[in-house]
Structure 1
Amino acid sequence: MADWKKLLQQAHEKRKPLFEVTDAYRVVNGAADGFPGLTLDRFGSRFQIQYFGPELLRQKNAIVAAIGDLLAPDCLVVKERLSSSGRSLENPPMEVLIGDPAGSVGTVFEGPAKFNVDLLDTINPGLFLDMRSIRLEVGTRCEGRRFLNLFSYTCSFSVHARLGGAAIATNADISGKILDKGRANFALNGLDLRPGEFFKGNAVEYVHWAQKKGLKFDGIVLDPPSFARFKGTNFNVREHLMPLVSDCATLLNQGGFFMVSSNYSEFELNSFARSVRDAVGAVHPHAKTSWKKSQDIDFVASGSSKDSCLVATLVEV
């Protein structure tokens, strides 16, 4: 029988460099931390377990007990994401095993920013943990600049951009409900809402509209889902991402930056970064890759499983 408390303690210790940066991070990243098929994420005083495989389901009670003893969560939510069907992944079975449902809602900090989270709101509580280091960097690049955040979700990149002094941070997302969460995150950080900062609609449509209007930006973040459907049209990251990168490049001012990322497990980092640079380079011949990276230190052995993969690259023009 595994000593779950000891394994959990060892995993938590690996994340120590993050403790002063944020109170939202991945505590356990599957087999690399001794917990095959399981992830554990911290969001302030609340935690979520996700089961991506059946290996440890029978040990659920023992693992929950270890988490309770070591981390003393106010709330612990368990999500079983075992089915391969999209519907199951978007609406997984959830249960609160420590605390009560009201405790699933709260705020976290990340560098200078604060964000609202809700662990019972679908599969993601409102903040993608694996983009943390990139968000923090974006905040340092945006003083006095115009920033565009495509597929913006709850607008976390834009919060960092505005806290870093961006003149404007435009968010495009198809969900009005999600954009409302973005507005709430702006309010949480004491940020005013400026004209043109929230666009409800397809990010691809926004790019084409901005091209026609002659809009330009100094920084762009493009972090699309692997698949999306909007008004009868489909976005497939494998087929449609690089053409969209090329279109976005036409909106980028000289001296600007462009970050592109994907969690699609079939992408390979080096070739992905080359493809992005080439697509941007067709518009900006002197474009260069500033960096290419995967997930942060809390995602141990990133890329070794489909539930923990990220390719990201930043191009400067």
Structure 2
Amino acid sequence: MNTPLAERSLELFASCPKGLEALLAKELTDLGAQSATETVAGVSFSGSLEVAYRSCLWSRLASRILLRLGEVQSQTKDDLYQGVRSFEWDDHLDNQSSFRVDFTGSTPDINHTRFGAQMVKDAIVDQLRDEHGWRPSVNAANPDLRINVHARGKTAFVSIDLSGQSLHQRGYRQESGEAPLKENLAAAILIRSGWPEMAKQGKPLMDPMCGAGTLLIEGAMMAADIAPGLLRARFGFDRWMGHVPKTWIKVLEEAKERRQQGLQSMNSDIIGFEGLGSVARRAKGNLERVGLAKRVSIRQQELIDLEMDSDIEPGLVVCNPPYGERMGDEASLVYLYKHLGEKLKQNCPGWEAGIFTGTPSLVKSLGMGPRKSYALFNGALPCKLFLYDIRSREAREAVSEKQERNQSEVRTVTYISEGANMFANRLKKNLKQIGKWARKNNIDCYRIYDADMPEYAVAVDVYRDWVHVQEYAAPKSINEDKAQERLMEALAVTPEVLNISDDNIVLKRRERQSGSNQYVRQAEQGRMMEVNEGGCRLLVNLHDYLDTGLFLDHRLMRVRLQKEAEGKRFLNLFCYTATATVHAAMGGALSSTSVDLSNTYLEWGKKNLALNGLSERRHRMEREDCLKWLEKDINEYDLIFMDPPTFSNSKKLRDVFDVQRDHFRLIELAVKRLSADGILYFSNNFRKFKLDERVESEFVVEEITHQTIDRDFQRRKGIHRSWKIMQK
């Protein structure tokens, strides 16, 4: 006689996100599992049907609970087909049942999961039709039974999915935030942070940036001993032929009783803060659905206003702050993390904290040394959980004083590395020297640091009371994580050294540019700022484009043009935002023509002219490819400036432009437009550039690079090269 299913020892498997295997093995063992064995992204175990049901209802960490039917050969697709056919599928499906197949992995001749699922589906349907005369239906959206097949090369594991929808879907979260944290990952963060033990002691839990409230809800469910699956409408075993309702009802009623008792004995304060009203309302809706609205407090409040009630004893702060991936996000996030650290130290001394992030380098900005960290995954994204003991301000100052008194002692872990301190010292030195020079010469915008230390490959430019930071692309030999870490360190110390607000830092990434990429819009803020250079009023935009509208390294060239332009006809080729035109016009140029292919920058140039009270009638703007324009132009000029890009494949160009290849033709055409004693100033920033020999043989040429590099750019060689060219 066969042993009833409810009394058998079953072979089971629980899947989970990577990094949770050890926690899941312990959790399943506590639920009654036997022989729990960790594997990648899951745990194999054995147990009764009651243990399987309890695992579905109570596991906070598992994604799925699978009942293993057995292993089959999958050397070929025919082996897989025959192996799946060998199971008695009428033990699991009847003639009214629907099912779906979830196929993962690959075999020697099956590389597509849809094809693998089709093979398994055919084997099941054919077996039931041939042996019993009926066939079940397939329902991908809402099947009665999910059958899971995981192929691992020559072997495939065939299972019944007892969970149905992924177990992380508790049922309380109908809406989520912009970057939702899965419920089982949230539970793992809390467990790793020590919350279950703190909850037993009645300690408080606080999330200063709670979003839709997932961490708080998972924490409250732990504190109130609420099974995470109690809200689910159904499980995968509900319509399974092997389901034993009596056993399930026993497990379910036990969980309901524990919930009632847990809510009565729960005495932890659980508090969340969220700045956006719509998101705070979403969090409250989630709490209503799980029945915890009266047990968890959600307050609409920005991080800047964070303030804990003085009568709340220390507990656990848990937080999943944003970790953006778009260009420029890092700059604002550095200061967000810095602000978070300051608020926690100010309001939560004596608390413990768990900070979860997908950008580990950002946590240095918190200003706290972690006591421990854990590697976790948010989907495919590798992340880390950092654990902290938040010390009071007095305790931190005492440690600092002790370190100063005894420098021979080993330094405690600090968020500022030795390299960051060296970067800060270099910035201070440059500020003292270059800042003084800039103030003396009434220079609003200047470069204060230009990869002076190769390890910190950034350029730091001051624009009045703003700072524009550009990160150079690191060589392939530099570890990407290390480069990111150093960038975060540089961003952390810069505002302190320069004594500016964190909000006035703008970060850009400068990589090797192709075509017109340097002109591609990076943001949509449209914030213009007026600066002064040599008596000229110029508009810069620090946010929207890779460059700001003002090439600082050409300052001396613009001043030179201003001094030489009086009474002359001026031509500005590749004019960008026409800053050189403004200088020439303010220097008394009789007229000017500015040519560029970008309508955006010509409009910007018009604003620069208007800001200085200069008429477009005397100072024309032409939208055209400069090479083509020169071929058609018949006018004569006394002063010409051209600073062409290294390379351009703009869609507006008929041909690709390459400065090394095309510069002789450009210069030749430009010189033809010069008056008898006219001057052409030619410049470019291609580091490998070589002036064509024909230029020196046909024209009077003088390299004036050293005369056009101002003090703030003398530390970095090759920023640009410049020549003065005249007719023979």
- Scaled to the shorter chain, the TM-score interval is 0.7 to 0.9
Distance 1:257-1:9 versus aligned 2 partners, 3 A rule: same
Cα deviation 1:264-291 (Å, max 9, x = unaligned): 11125xxx39764434x1xxxxx35273
1:242 paired residue among 664, 674, 681: 664
1:46 aligns with 2:466: yes
Match in the other structure for 1:77 = 506
Match in the other structure for 1:67 = 494
Match in the other structure for 1:167 = 590
Percent identity of paired positions between Structure 1 and Structure 2: 25
Distance 1:35-1:29 versus aligned 2 partners, 3 A rule: farther
Q: Which amino acid aligns with 2:636?
A: K
2:688 paired residue among 262, 266, 269: 266
1:131 paired residue among 513, 535, 554: 554
Q: Which amino acid aligns with 1:127?
A: L
Is the contact between residue 295 and residue 302 of structure 1 (CA under 8 Å) also seen in structure 2? no
Q: Which amino acid aligns with 1:301?
A: R
Q: Shift of the alpha carbon at 1:154?
A: 0.2
Normalised by the length of structure 1, the TM-score is: 0.83
Match in the other structure for 1:227 = 647
Match in the other structure for 1:98 = none
**Residues 101-112 of structure 1 correspond to what in structure 2 (within 5 A)?**
105-112=528-535
Q: Shift of the alpha carbon at 1:71?
A: 1.9
Distance 1:169 1:11 in 2: 38
Which has more strand, going by share of residues? 1
Is the contact between residue 522 and residue 546 of structure 2 (CA under 8 Å) also seen in structure 1? no
Distance 1:142 1:256 in 2: 11
Report the secondary structure of 1:309's partner residue.
coil
Distance 2:680 2:528 in 1: 33
Report the secondary structure of 2:657's partner residue.
strand
Match in the other structure for 2:445 = 24
Distance 2:517 2:697 in 1: 34
Match in the other structure for 1:299 = 713
Report the secondary structure of 2:449's partner residue.
strand
CA RMSD of aligned residues (A): 2.8
Distance 1:112 1:274 in 2: 38
Is the contact between residue 154 and residue 182 of structure 1 (CA under 8 Å) also seen in structure 2? yes
Distance 2:587 2:665 in 1: 30
Q: Shift of the alpha carbon at 1:132?
A: 0.5
Distance 1:275-1:58 versus aligned 2 partners, 3 A rule: farther
Is the contact between residue 14 and residue 298 of structure 1 (CA under 8 Å) also seen in structure 2? no
Report the secondary structure of 1:13's partner residue.
helix
1:186 aligns with 2:609: yes
Cα deviation 1:42-72 (Å, max 9, x = unaligned): 1222111111125643133432232212223
Q: Shift of the alpha carbon at 1:164?
A: 0.2
Distance 1:228 1:240 in 2: 11
The structure, 1 or 2, with the larger RCO (C-alpha pairs under 8 Å, 6+ apart) is: 1
Cα deviation 1:169-191 (Å, max 9, x = unaligned): 11000111110000000111121
Q: Mean Cα displacement is larger for which, 183-192 or 59-68?
A: 59-68
Distance 1:257-1:264 versus aligned 2 partners, 3 A rule: same
Report the secondary structure of 2:661's partner residue.
helix
Unaligned segments of structure 2, at least 5 residues: 1-417, 475-479
Is the contact between residue 260 and residue 276 of structure 1 (CA under 8 Å) also seen in structure 2? no
1:7 paired residue among 401, 409, 426: 426
Report the secondary structure of 1:265's partner residue.
coil
Q: Which amino acid aligns with 1:43?
A: Y
Distance 1:24 1:196 in 2: 25
Report the secondary structure of 2:724's partner residue.
strand
Q: Mean Cα displacement is larger for which, 55-64 or 37-46?
A: 55-64
Distance 1:203 1:209 in 2: 10
Distance 1:146 1:244 in 2: 19
Q: Which amino acid aligns with 1:167?
A: L
Q: Which amino acid aligns with 1:39?
A: A
Q: Mean Cα displacement is larger for which, 86-95 or 293-302?
A: 86-95
2:544 paired residue among 121, 135, 160: 121
Is the contact between residue 456 and residue 487 of structure 2 (CA under 8 Å) also seen in structure 1? no
Normalised by the length of structure 2, the TM-score is: 0.38
Q: Shift of the alpha carbon at 1:202?
A: 0.7
1:315 aligns with 2:725: yes
Is the contact between residue 150 and residue 172 of structure 1 (CA under 8 Å) also seen in structure 2? yes
Distance 2:533 2:433 in 1: 18
Report the secondary structure of 1:233's partner residue.
coil
Distance 2:575 2:513 in 1: 25
Q: Which amino acid aligns with 1:313?
A: W
Match in the other structure for 1:284 = none
Largest Rg, 1 or 2: 2
Distance 1:301-1:278 versus aligned 2 partners, 3 A rule: farther
Distance 1:244-1:102 versus aligned 2 partners, 3 A rule: closer
